[in-house]
Amino acid sequence: MPAHHLPTATIRPRAERGVAACPSVRRRHRPRRYPVFDAVEQAFARLVADPETAKVRTVLGMLPLSVVRSILTDPDTPAEVADGIWRTLVGRSRGDDAGWLLAAVGCALPRIRSGIWHATRNRAVDTDEAAQAALAAFTEAVMTLESVPFVGVLDELVRHARNAAQRVADHIKRDRLTQCPLPSSFPPPAPAGHVDFVLAELVHDGVITRDEADLIGRHRIEGTSLRRLAVVRGTYPMRLCRELKAAETRVIAALTEDETGRPDGESRRRAV
């Protein structure tokens, strides 16, 4: 249906209620979870409150930003109306006035928040880092996207933000899988002789198995990641990490007992 034939009677009553009246904004807003987004929200609120802020041209006429955002975040708004407004915002953002870029980010903020929520569910993920990456990707898409789609404009812009946040989360997951700390708060005493000979002696005494010695040597000495070793061995990185911790615990116990002056054979048997 052409934009000028859209039934605007069902849109304007919602638009006139402003941002606070939009249920989708209230439902998706997560205060204080993303401080970076909260700062953008405050800047957008100041822009909206400025009486000199320009209005946005829409099929409903020239509308203020507060009304425009309520239209864009209302799930009942026809897609043709929303896409038309977003193409206008993208076009104005690429002009000389930086306020239009803030307007675009502010209008998209509810969708960006919900879009990166999945990537930041893990507490190990730095929400500030993920939010900053999402904002950077969104603004870059607004400013540089070569072909703005005719349909699903916001979906395409938010996709860049969501992918950027997910990359941050994936980086954290990779680090957790490939970095396995020693199970002791202090390093084992430095053994005499080459480390390969020490591992071979521990295998001979039954402290660790040959596979465990190979795992320790490849990961701790050669620096091969647990993920790569898991692929080679046909297992999972977390399972390999547990095996590594168990083997190193026995190694540390055996070497530490040796330093106390107990007989080698006795200390090794107790370590097993």
Which of the four pLDDT bands, split at 50, 70 and 90, describes residue 11?
low
CA distances from 98 to 27, 64, 92, 94, 250 (A): 29, 17, 9, 8, 62
Q: Tokens 């043709």 belong to which residue?
A: 80
- pLDDT greater than 60 at residue 25: no
Q: Is 202 exposed, middle or buried (0-12, 13-18, 19+ CB in 10 A)?
A: buried
At 178 the pLDDT is: 61
Mind listing the pLDDT tens digit for each residue in 27-38?
444 444 788 899
Residue 193 CA from chain centroid, whole number: 45
* Short-list 55, 80, 65, 69, CA closest to 26: 69
Rounded percentage of the chain residues whose pLDDT exceeds 90 = 33
Mean per-residue pLDDT of the chain: 78
Tell me how many degrees the CA angle 146-148-149 measures, rounded to the nearest 5.
135
Query: What is the residue type of 149?
Result: P
Q: How would you label 50-88 residue by residue, b for 16+ Cβ within 10 Å and e otherwise?
A: eeebeebebbbeebebbbbbbbbbbeebbebbbbbbbeb
Mind listing the pLDDT tens digit for each residue in 202-247?
888 888 998 888 888 888 877 788 888 877 787 877 888 888 888 8
Mind listing the pLDDT tens digit for each residue in 258-272?
555 544 444 444 433
State how far the Cα of 164 lies from the Cα of 180, in Å rounded to an integer: 26
- pLDDT greater than 70 at residue 126: yes
Mean pLDDT score, 110-135: 88
Q: Is 111 exposed, middle or buried (0-12, 13-18, 19+ CB in 10 A)?
A: buried
- pLDDT greater than 60 at residue 145: yes
* Across 64-68, 133-137, 176-180, least confident range: 176-180
The pair of structure tokens assigned to 269 is 């048997």
